């Protein structure tokens, strides 16, 4: 859609790459937003940082819905679109970490994984909402009407996020961890960079598969199915919608399982599953059969839940309370750039070069391997710390 509205003078492949590039620029500033909001979230509390990020995000997304197209503004239209995507990325950089910590730091003992998954449910819920909206609008409007004004409606509804932010400001409670020892948190971001560089890199590595897999399964697959395979857009949207419902059901289940058997086992099994399933998934999608496409995406999203569900608890346990907002946010957003921002662009380029989805499946497997190693090292690090602590606590003979 964006390529037609904001990049109409280029061919379809180039337009798709430009649209995905515009999508990617919002990711590039996310680590900056993570650093800024993380710093203030650790210094002044989770709630004010989260609420501010939510309201900025709502305002920027609503503004996209009001943005004139290339036909009206010319070259200024795509420039303004990129600017608004940057504002979105800045807000999103701090939004995820704040939401995660409000639930994990308030969770009962032994249920941090399950409670943390509530923050993750925003992704499938948003995906379900957006797809339902586009399906309704596509069915109710002609193609010309949809391109003229119908596409704006989902963006304009983001003004509700501002209302949610105002409600959260008045009702949500601050977490206990963020109110402790404020005098010791004069520069939490600097403290994070000095004391937790390894944890930042490992959190980023763990996020690569989540960002990459999600945007392959929800963004790139729409372009691939409609342009490369000729699948009707409504068919692939329904398949993505059903798979999002499956994801919404299994994310809490996977997170709860991590409370029982450990984050490592759940996440690593999901990473292996995504690496393996990528190939048969694309084989099923390539058939063009609606049922097989749906089965392929549902299985992929269920496996994806195994890596996505445990992440809030896993990341929150990697950092101390004084730098936790900064650590969780910066680590996650660096990984989101490496995985999510580039995934649709790389996948489009790979298919254009090799003319086979197996190249994309291999790319998915490589991202899974990166995250597998990162989470394995996180677990081993935690295990060694526990062993050392046990030895220090042991009585002297």
pLDDT at 346: 92
Q: Which residue spans within the chain are E strands per DSSP?
A: none
Listed residue (93, 86, 94, 27) closest to 341, CA to CA: 27
Identify the residue with better confidence: 321 or 396: 321
Listed residue (337, 330, 328, 332) closest to 28, CA to CA: 337
Lowest mean pLDDT among 17-26, 145-154, 232-241: 17-26
Q: What does the mean pLDDT of the chain come to?
A: 83
SS3 labels along 117-132 = HHHHCHHHHHHHHHHH
Identify the residue with better confidence: 60 or 165: 60
10: which DSSP letter?
A: S
Q: Is the pLDDT of residue 281 over 80?
A: yes
Listed residue (331, 300, 335, 304) closest to 316, CA to CA: 331
pLDDT digits (tens, 9 = 90+) for 369-392: 999 999 999 864 444 444 434 433
H runs (alpha helix) in 287-323:
290-308, 311-316
Report residue 176's pLDDT band, with 50, 70 and 90 as the boundaries. Answer: low
Report residue 168's pLDDT band, with 50, 70 and 90 as the boundaries. Answer: low
pLDDT at 167: 65
pLDDT digits (tens, 9 = 90+) for 187-234: 777 888 888 889 999 999 999 999 999 999 998 999 999 999 999 988
% of the chain at pLDDT higher than 70: 83
Q: Which residues of 297-329 are buried (b: 16+ CB within 10 A; e: fewer)?
A: bbbbbbbbbbbbbbbbbbbbbbbebbbbbbbbb
Identify the residue with better confidence: 392 or 239: 239
pLDDT at 14: 55
Identify the residue with better confidence: 135 or 214: 214
**Spatial separation of the C-alpha atoms in residues 227 and 137, rounded to whole Å:** 21
**Spatial separation of the C-alpha atoms in residues 143 and 146, rounded to whole Å:** 5
pLDDT at 378: 87
pLDDT at 102: 86
Q: Is the pLDDT of residue 170 over 70?
A: no
pLDDT digits (tens, 9 = 90+) for 64-106: 888 887 777 777 887 888 888 889 889 988 888 988 998 898 8
Listed residue (1, 295, 289, 297) closest to 138, CA to CA: 1
Q: Is the pLDDT of residue 183 over 50?
A: no
Contacts of 370 (CB under 8 A, 6+ apart): 205, 208, 209
Q: What is the pTM for the complete model shown?
A: 0.82
């Amino acid at each position: 859609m964006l390529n037609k509205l904001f990049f109409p003078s280029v061919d379809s492949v180039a337009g798709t790459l430009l649209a995905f590039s515009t999508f990617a620029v919002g990711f590039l500033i996310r680590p900056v937003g993570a650093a800024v909001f993380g710093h203030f979230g650790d210094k002044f509390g989770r709630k004010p940082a989260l609420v501010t990020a939510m309201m900025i995000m709502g305002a920027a997304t609503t503004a996209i819905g009001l943005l004139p197209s290339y036909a009206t503004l010319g070259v200024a239209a795509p420039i303004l679109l990129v600017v608004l995507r940057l504002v979105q990325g800045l807000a999103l950089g701090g939004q995820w970490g704040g939401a995660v910590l409000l639930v994990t730091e308030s969770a009962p003992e032994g249920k941090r994984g399950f409670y943390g998954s509530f923050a993750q449910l925003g992704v499938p819920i948003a995906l379900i909402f957006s797809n339902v909206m586009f399906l309704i609008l596509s069915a109710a409007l002609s193609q010309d009407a949809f391109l003229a004004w119908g596409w704006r409606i989902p963006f304009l509804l983001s003004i509700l996020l501002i209302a949610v932010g105002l409600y959260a400001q008045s009702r949500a409670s601050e977490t206990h961890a963020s109110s402790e020892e404020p005098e010791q948190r004069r520069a939490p971001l600097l403290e994070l960079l000095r004391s937790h560089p390894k944890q930042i890199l490992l959190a980023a590595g763990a996020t690569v598969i989540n960002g990459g897999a999600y945007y392959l399964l929800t963004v790139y697959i729409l372009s691939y199915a409609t342009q490369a395979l000729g699948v009707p857009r409504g068919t692939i949207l329904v398949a993505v919608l059903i798979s999002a419902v499956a994801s919404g059901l299994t994310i809490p289940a996977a997170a709860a399982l991590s409370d029982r058997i450990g984050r490592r086992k759940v996440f690593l099994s999901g990473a292996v599953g995504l690496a393996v399933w990528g190939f048969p998934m694309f084989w099923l999608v390539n058939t063009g059969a609606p049922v097989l496409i749906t089965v392929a995406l549902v299985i992929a999203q269920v496996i994806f839940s195994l890596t996505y569900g445990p992440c809030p608890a896993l990341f929150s346990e990697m950092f101390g309370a004084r730098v936790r907002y900064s650590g969780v946010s910066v680590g996650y957003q660096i990984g989101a750039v490496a995985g999510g921002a580039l995934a649709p662009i790389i996948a489009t380029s790979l298919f254009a070069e090799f003319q086979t989805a197996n190249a994309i499946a291999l790319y998915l497997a490589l991202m899974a391997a990166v995250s597998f190693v990162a989470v394995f090292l996180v677990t081993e690090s935690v295990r060694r710390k526990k062993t050392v602590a046990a030895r220090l606590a042991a009585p002297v003979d």
